[in-house]
């Protein structure tokens, strides 16, 4: 199988986990969700575009969850497409995933903050 350049495969304890890079997002496959997740609204937007107003959107059959109004998770019930006007479309296979935002650290002011598209 051929994966796009923004897709990585990590082998952990003979289980193959997938990683996807999409702009400022890292999407990492997980085996199970942590307890305490809350089902989000019907919107399929997984990240808001702070600078350009463009959003990262999941297209396909999925459920999006959130924990503590911060970390988002989703379960792909079928093959999904992740779209954003400034990035290539990614195909995401069936599975459970966590969405991690890229962060940057400024040592001069001792500040860590999220990076936005």
37-66 per-position pLDDT tens digit: 988 877 787 776 666 667 778 888 988 898
Name the helix (H) or strand (E) containing 55. Answer: none
Compute how many other C-beta atoms are within 10 angstroms of the C-beta atom of residue 37. Answer: 17
Q: What is the pLDDT of residue 111?
A: 65
The pLDDT assigned to 1 comes to 44
The reported pLDDT for the residue numbered 12 is: 54
Q: What pLDDT is stored for residue 84 in this prediction?
A: 82
Q: What's the pLDDT score for residue 90?
A: 85
Instruction: Give the pLDDT score at 7.
Output: 53
Spell out, as residue ranges, where the chain has pLDDT lower than 50. Answer: 1-3, 5, 117
């Amino acid at each position: 199988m051929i994966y796009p350049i923004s897709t990585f495969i990590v082998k952990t304890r003979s289980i193959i986990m997938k990683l996807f890079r999409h702009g400022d997002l890292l999407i990492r496959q997980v085996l199970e969700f942590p307890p305490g997740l809350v089902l989000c609204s019907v919107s399929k937007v997984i990240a808001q575009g702070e600078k350009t107003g463009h959003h990262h959107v999941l297209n396909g059959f999925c459920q999006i969850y959130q924990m503590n109004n911060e970390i988002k998770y989703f379960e792909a019930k079928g093959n999904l497409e992740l779209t954003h006007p400034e990035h290539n479309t990614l195909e995401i296979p069936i599975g459970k995933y966590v969405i991690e935002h890229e962060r940057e650290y400024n040592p001069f002011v001792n500040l860590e903050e999220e990076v936005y598209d």
